[in-house]
Chains A and B, each alone.
Chain A
Amino acid sequence: MTILSVNQVCKTFKTNNGGQIRAVDEVHLSIAENDFVCIVGPSGCGKSTLLRIAAGLEPASSGDIRFRGQEIKKPHPHIGMVFQEYSLFPWLPVIDNVASGPEFSGMKKMERIELAQHYLEVVGMSEFADAFPHELSGGMRQRVAIARAFANDPKILLMDEPFGSLDAHTRILLQKELLRIWETHRKTILFVTHSVDEAVYLADRVVIMSARPGKVKEILKIDMGRPRSRANPSYGELTDRILQQLEHEVIGFQN
């Protein structure tokens, strides 16, 4: 069942000196419900832009993205998003951050605090309910950001390099955490990343984008059972295949 369809989406930006940059060029994608899809691509290939259009934060220049057939023109309650950093509200303690979504939709205080506490437990941050974001490490903040997005109970979760600013160990830890949470709270996930290793570890399908203007180069199916082992030869083969595709793009772009 297709839950999200990206239909011939183009996005052009105007530059400061009057020129135009085509960030995304005729991207066409179909995301099935409860699929975990990763988008990888060289820098500037428009993957974040695509995500922002899906989130309703920006309009496409042409084409559209549809959620269950309905065109997305502004942020949708069933589509959540996790950003790379600086997304938690620094003036609120963790518990109130997580309860933000329900607060915006008018849920009463006691109810939403209870809801927030539940999701804090899911991400393993219950002890830090009263802490402020600046008191937390990067990994902890991202856990809270995930809890906050989950608390709104979206059907689709968009994730824009959520682990990109974390160190290698924390990153791997959170990858496992995310999959664990996903086991019990199934959602459709569209995950943008630079890291090919991360994409192969997490995704059912990997969408490889070309350099700017971004087009879909290839969509690879990852047929390994979870939890995936990096010792599995298929893991290495898939990673290598994706890296080769990307290398072409990066070198080609530099020429």
Chain B
Amino acid sequence: MKSQVTSILIPIIVPILLIIIWIFAAFKIGNQVILPPIDNVLNLLVNPTEQIISMGSLASNITVSLVRVLMGYLLAAFIGIPLGVIMGYYALVFRLMNTFLNVFRPIPPLAWVPLVMAWFGIASMATALGIETGNLYIYLNNLKFSMIFIIFIGGFYPILTSSIHGVASVNQTLIDSARVLGANEFQVFHKVLLPAAMPSIINGLRIGLGISWMCLVSAEMLPGSISGVGYLITHAYTLASTDIVIAGMISIGIVGMAMDKIFHYIENRRYAWQRLAR
């Protein structure tokens, strides 16, 4: 009984402290633009479907952001995982690609913005599919290639690196055992290498999602952006609505944390063996 209570109580202590400090500081400062009263922010968070001064509702903006991140992130996974696995498996491919990829790794996603604008402008999924009018246009036009690229770059490197590492660090004895049991090359790859590399790959996917989600704000600061929670934050500032800014930031934090928790859950359920086998 006691341990149950303490396990819920202990994580709450710091947030509650923070809230108390906020209430006190907001009162003392008395300036909405610097630090809005906490109920303004809470009001926004508790009513996410209410329209916010011509910028759409909090919920709809988060949805648009999620869709964008999903697109960029899935692209990163579809390219990063196969490429990483092949690089981890074939030394030749590794030597071919590694130096080249490492040159671009330290470049922060934000630094890609000028180039991305020059390449993609405000082209979007609507442009690609040739749709120019109607509801579908409005929706697809939100998915700008420039944003998707930034989000892609964010997620790509963690996914690539962990895929390479996952495959390259498979215990040689496992591969030897499989071959001695009669597995052919394809079976070794499919039934031994991939399962053995999975925990590392899933871990990379989790980290990649976190970074892709973080790139969101930079991506939604790009010209042509008219929606999304990153857009909400940068444009609420121009309207001196710090409460919207803070509500937006908290939303980003909560959604990010939820996605991370889902991954941890998947990792623990299906890949417990890796943690426990060490």
Contacts and interface: CB of A to CB of B under 8 A. Distances in A.
Interface of B is mostly: helix
Contact of B181 (A86, A132, A148): A148
Contacts of A89: 174, 177-178, 192, 195-196
A164 to B, nearest CB: 13
A122 B90 CA distance: 40
A62 B273 CA distance: 42
24 contacts: A55-B176, A55-B180, A56-B179, A74-B179, A75-B179, A75-B180, A80-B180, A81-B177, A81-B180, A83-B173, A83-B176, A83-B177, A85-B173, A86-B174, A87-B177, A88-B177, A90-B196, A91-B195, A100-B181, A104-B178, A104-B187, A104-B191, A134-B273, A152-B181
Q: Which of B180, B184, B274 has the most CB of A within 10 A?
A: B180
Nearest to A97: B177
A90 B179 contact: no
B75 interface: no
Given A83-B173, A90-B273, A91-B273, 8 more contacts: A57-B179, A89-B195, A101-B181, A104-B178, A104-B184, A132-B273, A134-B277, A148-B181
Interface in B157-188: 171, 173-174, 176-184, 187
A105 interface: yes
Q: Which of A74, A75, A133 has the most CB of B within 10 A?
A: A75
A117 B178 CA distance: 20
Contacts of B182: 75, 77, 101, 104-105, 152
A89 B191 CA distance: 10
Contacts of A80: 180-181
Contacts of A135: 276
B133 to A, nearest CB: 51
Contacts of A148: 177, 181
Contacts of A105: 182
